[in-house]
Amino acid sequence: MGNILCGVDIGGTKLSVALVTDDGKVIDKCLEGDHTEKSECGLTDQIKFNIRKLLKRNNLTESDLCGIGIGCAGHIRFSDGTIITTSNLKGFKGYPLRREIQSGFEVPVILDNDANAQAFGEFRFGAGRGYEHMVFLTISSGIGAGIIINKSLYRGFTGTAGEFGHTIIEPGSDMMCTCGNKGCLMAVACGMALPHLFAKKLHEGKISKIELPADFDFSKVDGKLIKHGLDIDDPVSQEIVSEIGHYMGIGIYNIFQALNPQLIVLGGGLLSWGDIFLDKIRKTFYELARDMIFDPVEIKLTEIGPDAGVIGAASLSLGKC
């Protein structure tokens, strides 16, 4: 087998397939946005087709690949490469995606949760290089995470370890997560919480500097709108970022107490909020952890950048090189 990696990132808006060097650089990639409309077979064929297309246009063959890594949002049973549930795609409940892709290739195919893939990418090529134990958290519309223990991904029994987003940190909260529970980290501290928080602040009489139409649909409040609010010194946006930063600080403190990692790496869309967000996360974390930090714990930003999805997915096949 060769030493080029292939990464497939099945996202909520884009299907990305890339060829990646074994030191984590994207050689070539293709992006498509119509994959969420496809059937199980349709998406499987699209992935196979795109991998072959990329190989061909780079004058490569399958024998140049180490393996194919696929990252997909949702609950993945790692042992048999099955998508148990995913909210991005239609169907795909209990779908053996790894087996279906593997049927088209000789090189090993690995399917994992997208946050696990990014965590491993970060560990191999990014902020986590050289660390033994680290946790990667992605904070965007939802919260995903991956755990590196003893320089390997820790996936747990089914393969769903690292679902810190579903840990309950505010049992009395009225904020509901897509999982059906109230008060889990994902309900209170990511993009999902923004519509509720924004509407609540206005309802409490807070004045926002963001100009909104009279019939504004609050379900449209997202990280970008809040970023715009920060840019114009909107006090409502600042309060929301502070509140979410506070909860993320608690979430990271809980991870610190549970797993005692050396490093926590943060990625995801909400980090574009900048220092006001990161400072609040760190402030809450250090206020809680205080004299219980016996060896330095670092909280860093992702370093593998905008191609984190495919680079992470590609990194999954590194053990197969």
Q: Which is nearer to a copy of itself, 52 or 166 (CB)?
A: 166
Strand partners, 138: 144, 267
d(CA 146, CA 154): 8
CB of 221 to a copy of itself, least distance (A): 23
CB of 218 to a copy of itself, least distance (A): 25
CB of 76 to a copy of itself, least distance (A): 10
d(CA 224, CA 17): 26
CB of 189 to a copy of itself, least distance (A): 12
What is the SS3 assignment for 82-141? Answer: EEEECCCCCCCCCECHHHHHHCCCCCCEEEEEHHHHHHHHHHHHCCCCCCCCEEEEEECC
CB of 190 to a copy of itself, least distance (A): 15
Q: Which is nearer to a copy of itself, 217 or 294 (CB)?
A: 294
The two counts, helices (H) then strands (E), for the chain are 9, 12
Q: Which is nearer to a copy of itself, 21 or 181 (CB)?
A: 181
Which residues of the shown chain bind a copy of itself in the complex (CB under 8 A)?
A: 75, 77, 84, 132-133, 149, 154-172, 179-181, 250, 253-255, 257-262, 288, 290, 292, 294-295, 297
Is residue 21 within 8 Å of 318, Cβ to Cβ?
no
CB of 300 to a copy of itself, least distance (A): 15
Is residue 57 within 8 Å of 28, Cβ to Cβ?
yes
d(CA 238, CA 244): 10
Supply 266's token pair: 């943060």
Q: Which is nearer to a copy of itself, 51 or 169 (CB)?
A: 169
DSSP category for residue 171:
T
CB of 313 to a copy of itself, least distance (A): 21
Q: Which is nearer to a copy of itself, 215 or 291 (CB)?
A: 291
Q: Which is nearer to a copy of itself, 258 or 276 (CB)?
A: 258
d(CA 313, CA 11): 12
Residues listed for the chain: 321
Q: Which is nearer to a copy of itself, 108 or 162 (CB)?
A: 162
d(CA 134, CA 154): 10
Strand partners, 4: 65
